[in-house]
Structure 1
Amino acid sequence: MKLDRKTWQLIATAALFLLATVLCIAAWAVANAPQAGPDQLKATDWMQAWGSIAGVAAGLAAAVAATALLMHERRAAEEARRQLADANRAQEESRARSVATAGLDYPRGSLVENIDRSVVKLSKVALHVHNFGPDPIHSIVVTVTLPGGQTAEHNGTEMIGPKDHQSVVITVEPPHLCTGDNPDFEIKMCHVTVSFTDSSGIRWNRTNNGAPERETRPLVTLRDMIEFG
């Protein structure tokens, strides 16, 4: 068993306290022992006294050792729980990273132009949501944030199976006014966030295929809405 620094400090402090206590008892006994007469301490008395002190010392040492062992086991259990939690978080995040978006573009017929084509508006965007993981994902919500802060959201996908993908077309309402006669700039400046629930029931948000973020707010299910109205 390998003890940490704090445990060794505790053992050393207890040992020094025990030694000081023994020395104090011995000094007191010598100072108050009669020097002559029938009450003078004999060798057997000293042996009995030191035996009692040794017994007390052994008991205290056993108590210190038991305390040190308990502290060590408690720290080891806490470290094991921490490592298990870290491993679970890493596994969950790895599962969330398997969901990605790709191919953001504007489909045919998604542009609204005036007669002289001086004003172009984007009315739809399209993309693919891929699930490269071994488990299905549920309640997929895709949100596209256009330049200027306008958002368009798609809520139509209940499930994407493992190793599968889903094509998504999102309506932009009202149509987004483009900066030129080609919406390529707007497409490049868009931010895409996909929200989904994994097979463990954890809700995730992932923007532009970056690091997934775990959603902490509780999900409201249809049963909750019926029960609490």
Structure 2
Amino acid sequence: MLAAEAPKITDWMQAWGSLAGLVMSTAAVIFTGLLFRHEIRVRRDEQRDNEATQARLVVARPVTVKRNGERPDEITHVECLISNYSNMPVFNLMAHIQLISEPQFLDEQFGLFNVLQDEAAWNAELSRPVRDSELSESLLICVITFFDSSGVFWQREGINLPIRIIPSRRRFIRRLRILVPRWSRALKIWLRRLPENIRYRIKQATSRTPGG
């Protein structure tokens, strides 16, 4: 009776076959999922690459500088050449001058081109002179933002690859452009007045001391 109820060799083979089939099916599903994910990533990269085709052809670079007549080691103006090598125009292009080592822009007023078809020059007056000693540790670059012919917003710093700016990031950058110069001016004023404030505090402290 017990011998009749014991599993046969065929039952064992069938069970192992079912287990092997389950393992192979699971592996096939995992492999298919990974392959599908890889294809999505490749298509996304191709889409991003295609979107940046025109943006990579818009380049801005400093070409000439104007120096201070009294101090030849100081640069007061920078002329940038902005080139659009694509066959389509770009729109609302804004240009700034910046040192790579500093986050704030150096120009008094940004350059604005509503439509740029091929090439344009922009002469930027610097908000402060840049000395040759600063250029030994950093570089002057031209930073541009623009809309391509598809309406995508881009930013490009010097010869670096263009970066697509999403609307939320665009608002953040716009706020930084407004706030950073204000913070910089406020800090300069505070540093300029610091010695006077220190002398005033010392004078107040000495006048309050007995017998002063």
The alignment's TM-score, normalised by the length of structure 1, stands at 0.53
Instruction: Say whether residues 1:218 and 2:169 are aligned partners.
Output: yes
Mapping for residues 19-34 of structure 1, pairs under 5 Å? none
Q: Which amino acid aligns with 2:36?
A: A
In structure 2, the residue matched to 1:157 is: 113
Cα deviation 1:174-214 (Å, max 9, x = unaligned): 6x3777xxxxx9xxx6322222233351422222x233344
Alpha-carbon shift at residue 173 of structure 1 (Å): 4.0
Q: Which amino acid aligns with 2:116?
A: I
Instruction: Say whether residues 1:140 and 2:93 are aligned partners.
Output: yes
Cα deviation 1:109-137 (Å, max 9, x = unaligned): x7775xxxx35676543332111124432
The whole-number CA distance in structure 2 between the counterparts of 1:177 and 1:75 is 53
The whole-number CA distance in structure 2 between the counterparts of 1:191 and 1:119 is 22
Change (3 A) 1:137 1:166: same
Larger Rg: 1
Alpha-carbon shift at residue 67 of structure 1 (Å): 1.1
Structure 2 counterpart of 1:74, from 30, 33, 52: 33
Unaligned runs of 5+ in 2: 172-212
Structure 2 counterpart of 1:196, from 146, 162, 165: 146
Q: Which amino acid aligns with 1:41?
A: A
Instruction: Say whether residues 1:170 and 2:124 are aligned partners.
Output: yes
Alpha-carbon shift at residue 140 of structure 1 (Å): 1.6
Give the 3-state SS of the residue equivalent to 1:210 in structure 2: coil
Mapping for residues 10-21 of structure 1, pairs under 5 Å? none
Mapping for residues 47-62 of structure 1, pairs under 5 Å? 49-62=8-21
Unaligned runs of 5+ in 1: 1-38, 180-184, 221-229
Change (3 A) 1:54 1:131: same
Alpha-carbon shift at residue 74 of structure 1 (Å): 0.3
Cα deviation 1:88-117 (Å, max 9, x = unaligned): 3444454332111246225xxx7775xxxx
Cα deviation 1:60-81 (Å, max 9, x = unaligned): 2332222111111001011112
Over the aligned positions, Cα root-mean-square deviation in angstroms equals: 3.9
Change (3 A) 1:62 1:190: closer
The alignment's TM-score, normalised by the length of structure 2, stands at 0.57
The whole-number CA distance in structure 1 between the counterparts of 2:57 and 2:165 is 17
Change (3 A) 1:83 1:67: same
The whole-number CA distance in structure 2 between the counterparts of 1:202 and 1:195 is 7
Give the % identical residues.
14
Q: Which amino acid aligns with 1:151?
A: L
Give the 3-state SS of the residue equivalent to 2:143 in structure 1: strand
Change (3 A) 1:177 1:218: closer
Alpha-carbon shift at residue 84 of structure 1 (Å): 2.0
Instruction: Say whether residues 1:41 and 2:3 are aligned partners.
Output: yes
